[in-house]
Amino acid sequence: MMWQDFVFMLGSGLSIVFLAPTLRDSNARVPLGTSLPSMGIGFVYSLTFVTLGMTFSAAGAFAAGSMWSLIALFRSPQGVSMNPFARENLALFVSDLRYWLARRRSDRSFAEQYVSFDRSAGHGNPR
């Protein structure tokens, strides 16, 4: 066994330990925008490690991806939604995409896109 395989497995194991309280807390709410990409990364890493012959790392990454799957399923603010293509989910995605594209096309600098201003106060102070 390569020592790197052990290190990656240990890292994945620690992430599972750190994620367990989130899964156990019935009041925890983790946005799908956080849990779904993390789940995908875990599964992609798992597949990548398998192709490199790093079976322990692959198992750890798969376990971490599975933990994120459970968090997405049980701890998302919307509750359990088994249909990611539901009309309201697609409408929200399209709305977010339009908003993001509009901000990208604005004359503001790249860094200013991510600063929110309180225009109701009559001055451009960041919130």
pLDDT computed for residue 121 by the predictor: 54
pTM: 0.61
Tokens matching residue 83: 């249909």
Distance from C-alpha of 25 to C-alpha of 21, rounded to nearest angstrom: 6
More confident position, 80 or 7: 7
Residue with tokens 């390569």: 2
Mean pLDDT for the stretch of residues 89-94: 70
Angle (deg, nearest 10), helices 3-24 and 32-51: 160
* Residue 30: Cβ within 10 Å count: 20
When divided into structural domains, the chain yields a total of 2
Asked if 88 and 28 sit in the same domain, the reply is no
Asked if 99 and 39 sit in the same domain, the reply is no
Structural domain contains residue 122: no
Alpha carbon of 79 to those of 17, 22, 76, 82, 127: distances in Å?
23, 15, 5, 10, 30
Structural domain contains residue 5: yes
Instruction: State the DSSP code for 120.
Output: G
- Where in the sequence is the domain holding 101, given as residue range(s)? 81-117
pLDDT computed for residue 7 by the predictor: 93
Asked if 47 and 109 sit in the same domain, the reply is no
Tell me the per-residue pLDDT of 41-71, one tens digit each, with 9 for 90 and over: 999 999 999 999 999 999 999 999 999 999 9
